[in-house]
Amino acid sequence: MKTAGTMIGRTLANGLGILALLSVLIGLYLAFCYAPPDALQGDVQRIMYIHVPTAWVAFLAFFVVFVASIVYLWTRAPESDRLAAASAEIGVLFTALTLIDGSIWGKPTWGTWWTWDARLTTTAILLVIYVGYLMLRSFVEEPEQRARLAALVGIVGFIDVPIIYMSVLWFRTLHQPPSIQRGGVAMPDEMLLTLLFNFGAYTLVYFFFLVKRVRIESLRAIGDALMAAKVRHE
Amino acid sequence: MSNLAYIVAAYGITLGSLAVYGFLLWSQLRQAERDVAALSGGEGEGYGHQ
């Protein structure tokens, strides 16, 4: 039964991976061949189709850390801790990529690679918080203490996410306000469709990575338990 | 730098990093499956590599 379940899980995970890859390729086609160039920025604005989705995935990843951390503190289920750890690592990757491609976009549009603007600074703080989260996990050896402390950081750290989102509205910044707001959408339909498609594509990439990362954490936990049993037996 | 260079750099770094991370996950998963299979002897069949 275990083998059959594993096979089904693998097939689903690999199917998700293929779907994610196809979606990214279609997203690239839409970004370069379907969406029109921006009237002011020209072609360099096409960086938006990768910058905004990576930022969205980073927020999603840290939201998953937030929820999984609350569930862990509530239930003490190790699966929740493993989910939080996996999602935090992916979130750090996507936050770093958001800062890098945002910086590359900033140079031709703002004339600088970096400025201590509210949106950029709060995003850099987010990266530092979750790098700290991962470092904490690697420093604390006792599993329950590690999970408990990490859950606290995972919950408190998430406070920065709504601050980042609202920073362009609360402060005077170089960064443009959200393109999609309750009041309407500030872009043509072709750009909106391309952006939304890329949101979906990179969300699929996130879930594919998450499934694989959680599986690694689960196997390591099984390995640790088997090793402990072996040592006890000897 | 031309606009094209900025676009290539942004997409190249992002997609390249995701590809490298995907490869690292794949190799870590294989290693974890091998470790569990070795520790559990015959019972490790269900954890075999993908």
Contact predicate A58/A91, CB 8 Å: yes
More confident residue, A77 or A228: A77
For residue A43, the chain B residues in CB contact (below 8 A) are 3-4, 7
> What is the tens place of the pLDDT at every residue in A82-99?
999 999 999 999 999 999
Extended beta strands in chain B, E state: none
Rounded to 10 degrees, the C-alpha dihedral B27/B30/B32/B33 comes to 170
Give me the mean pLDDT over the A21-30 stretch.
97
Cβ contact B7–A46 (<8 Å) = yes
Mutate to test the interface with A, among B1, B2, B7 (most CBs of A within 10 A): B7
Contact predicate A62/A87, CB 8 Å: yes
Give me the mean pLDDT over the A209-229 stretch.
92
What residue in A sits closest to B46 (Cα-Cα)?
Answer: A3
Radius of gyration of chain A (CA): 20
Q: What is the pLDDT of residue A218?
A: 93
Helix intervals (H) in A111-184: 118-139, 143-157, 160-170
Kindly state the DSSP code that residue A173 receives in the 8-state scheme. -
Cβ contact B6–A105 (<8 Å) = yes
Residues A210, A157: Cα–Cα separation, whole Å: 20
Contact predicate A123/A56, CB 8 Å: no
Please choose, from the candidates A62, A54, A61, A161, the residue with its C-alpha nearest in 3D space to the C-alpha of residue A105: A54
Three-state DSSP class for A77? coil
pLDDT band at B1 (very low <50, low <70, confident <90, very high): low
> What is the tens place of the pLDDT at every residue in A120-165?
999 999 999 999 999 999 999 898 999 999 999 999 999 999 999 8
Q: What is the pLDDT of residue A14?
A: 87
> What is the tens place of the pLDDT at every residue in B10-50?
999 999 999 999 999 999 999 999 999 998 875 544 454 44
Rounded to 10 degrees, the C-alpha dihedral B37/B40/B41/B47 comes to -30
Residues A218, B38: Cα–Cα separation, whole Å: 16
Least confident of A79-83, A112-116, B38-42: B38-42
Q: Could you tell me the domains of chain A?
A: 2-233 (1.20.120)
pLDDT band at A26 (very low <50, low <70, confident <90, very high): very high
Q: Count CB-CB contacts under 10 A for residue A106.
A: 21
Burial of A223 from C-beta contacts in 10 A (0-12 / 13-18 / 19+): buried
Q: What is the pLDDT of residue B49?
A: 43
Residues A53, A196: Cα–Cα separation, whole Å: 8
The angle, 0 to 180 degrees and rounded to 10, between the axes of the packed helices A118-139 and A48-75 is: 40
3-state secondary structure A210-227: HHHHHHHHHHHHHHHHHH
For residue A34 the two structure tokens come to 């379907």
Whole-complex ipTM: 0.89
pLDDT band at A3 (very low <50, low <70, confident <90, very high): low
> What is the tens place of the pLDDT at every residue in A31-76?
999 999 888 888 999 999 999 999 999 999 999 999 999 999 999 9
Q: What is the pLDDT of residue B44?
A: 46
For residue A230 the two structure tokens come to 């072996």
Interface residues of B toward A, Cβ cutoff 8 Å, are 1, 3-4, 6-7, 9-11, 13-15, 17-18, 21-22, 25-26, 28-29, 32-33, 35-36, 39-40, 45-47, 50
pLDDT band at A231 (very low <50, low <70, confident <90, very high): confident
Helices (H) and strands (E) in chain B, counts: 1, 0
Kindly state the DSSP code that residue A38 receives in the 8-state scheme. B
Residues of chain A with pLDDT > 70: what percent?
95
> What is the tens place of the pLDDT at every residue in A167-202?
878 877 777 777 666 666 678 899 999 999 999 999
